[in-house]
Amino acid sequence: MQYIDFHTHTPPEDKKHVRAIVSCVAPEPLEKYENGNLFSYGIHPWYTKGHDIGKLLAHVRDMAHFNKVVAIGEAGLDKLKGPQMGEQKKIFCYHIEISEEVKKPLIIHSVKANNEVLRLRKKMSPLQPWIIHGFAGHPQEMQQFVDAGFYLSFGPKILYHNNRASESLAEVPDDRFFLETDHTNKTISGLYDRAADIRGISLKELEKTINKNFKTIFD
């Protein structure tokens, strides 16, 4: 099996079987990680207090040009934590501009802000893929995002029964989803096992589907 962990904060121990995108938060240095990892880079809306935002954004722009940085983010909007929504939107829009400039996908953090993210997508008409990480909404929300051209990455919430994330994963189109461990101690292999069960397919079929989606975005 070749697993893809679309969004994590910890490099995989098993690099032979796990290909991961490690999320780095500005101004975190990439040098602390071993070579051979893939990264996303951005300003998380939680971690802006006490920082010079202009300097952080300039740092994101610089890091965005590195080959090992394959995506921008995570960046986005959070109504439960972080600065005022107006400030969050300004920072998020800057990430959108960088994503378009360097032609790399945008990984999005959205908490209680799905409508705002959908409106920004419509307003800005980006050419690069947008991926909602840790999606846990109900199937109607899932369909809204899919219809708007988003990809969705499902995290550890699918491990629990009878929840919206599992319901949405069961119905999301084959060509629109990924799996991730995020900032947890869960294994990507465990998520694959659960996702295959939810979708009623074999692990091999799931592996093929996610690998194909990954190539569509990055190749």
Distance, in Å, from the CA atom of 197 to the CA atom of 201, rounded to the nearest integer, reads 7
CA 170 to chain centre: 19
- CB contact at 8 A, 63 and 26: yes
pLDDT tens figures, 52-69: 899 999 999 999 999 999
CA–CA distances in Å: residue 29 to residues 13, 33, 65, 104: 20, 8, 14, 20
Is 133 marked as a binding-site residue? yes
Residue 65 marked as a ligand binder: no
pTM above 0.85, yes or no: yes
pLDDT of 36 over the 90 cut:
no
Element spanning 130, H or E: strand 130-132
In 103-201, which residue ranges form alpha helices assigned H by DSSP? 114-124, 139-147, 164-171, 188-199
| Look-up of token digits 């995290």 | 155
Q: How many residues does the chain have?
A: 219
CATH, residue 58: 3.20.20.140
Write out pLDDT tens, residues 77-112: 999 998 999 999 999 999 999 999 999 999 999 999
List the domain range (segments joined by +) for residue 155: 3-218
Phi (first) and psi of residue 109, to 5 degrees: -100, 120
User: For residue 37, which of 14, 65, 62 has the smallest C-alpha distance?
Assistant: 14
Mean pLDDT score, 165-177: 98
Domain tally for the chain? Answer: 1
Answer yes or no: is 109 a known binding residue.
yes
How many whole angstroms separate alpha carbon 53 and alpha carbon 75?
A: 13
3-state secondary structure of 81: coil
59 appears as a binding residue in the annotation? no
pLDDT tens digits, 107-145? 999 999 999 999 999 999 999 999 999 999 999 999 999
> What's the first-to-final CA gap in the chain, in angstroms?
20
